[in-house]
Amino acid sequence: MSPGRRHGLDTLHELGRMTWIEEPYGWVAAPEEIVDALLHDGFEECKREMTTSRRDSRPAGGVWQGINTRTGSVASAIWVNRPAWPEAIVFIAIDGESLNGPGAPSQEHDP
């Protein structure tokens, strides 16, 4: 990607739609927005699963994996829904490296 092109994750972060929290070292975000951002960044969905184990039938969490067929990069997002909160804790990795901290989405992963 050229340096001037915006990444979907960058946009979410800039808009305050994903926020880093030190404990448990994850992003507070809506999982669908993270998945949409990864799709925007060129990843094609390979796997998506949700788990339901709570009384309210709301998914307890889920996993999404995608591959960028142009670059060979692999992205994954794992999330845990919190019962009283509309957003989840999302853990994001690209090519096996976790995206951590406030500046993480701006890392370049597309050669």
Question: Tell me, what's the pLDDT at 51?
Answer: 83
Question: Tell me, what's the pLDDT at 60?
Answer: 86
Q: What is the reported pTM?
A: 0.81
Question: Tell me, what's the pLDDT at 104?
Answer: 57
Is 90 exceeded by the pLDDT of residue 77?
yes
Q: Which of 31-35, 47-51, 81-85, 101-105 has the highest mean pLDDT?
A: 31-35
Which candidate, 96, 80, 94, 92, places its Cα nearest to that of 42? 94
CA distance 43 to 65: 9
Instruction: Give the residue-averaged pLDDT of 87-97.
Output: 94
Distance of CA 37 to the CA centre of its chain: 8
Alpha helices in 2-111 (DSSP H): 8-14, 31-40
Helix (H, G, I), strand (E, B) or coil at 77: strand
